[in-house]
Amino acid sequence: MQHPVFYVARVTKFLDEMIQEHGDYLFAGFVVVCAVVLVWMFTRTRKHPVREMSVVILPLGSAPKREIERETLLFRDCNDFGHESPANEELRRD
């Protein structure tokens, strides 16, 4: 008796060869089968009618208030701090 791994190896080798030789036809066949199954699912009549379900959406309250984020000091111009930067003084002279 052989180990089951050898059986799995034979099956996977067979499937690899089939996909290499007939992969296009297999893909087209699976697409057709999936399309037929989808059409059947959406057009069949049900044995039991679908019960209507009521859905209730409860508001959880108002959104939490967020504090206003202030601009960080790194991105402010020197004029905001009440003094001039040397670069601004040079630009005003020209």
Q: Are 78 and 88 in contact (CB under 8 A)?
A: yes
pTM: 0.42
pLDDT of residue 68: 73
The reply to whether 55 falls in a domain is no
The reply to whether 42 falls in a domain is yes
What tokens does 78 get? 């020197």
Count of domains in the chain? 1
* Distance, CA of 33 to CA of 68 (rounded, Å): 58
What tokens does 16 get? 């690899």
Residue 78 CB: number of other CB atoms within 10 A?
Answer: 13
Domain that holds residue 40: 1-47
pLDDT of residue 93: 57
**Tens-level pLDDT at each residue, the chain (94 residues):** 788 899 999 999 999 999 999 999 999 999 999 999 999 999 988 788 778 888 888 777 777 677 777 666 565 555 555 555 555 555 555 5
The reply to whether 78 falls in a domain is no
pLDDT of residue 76: 57
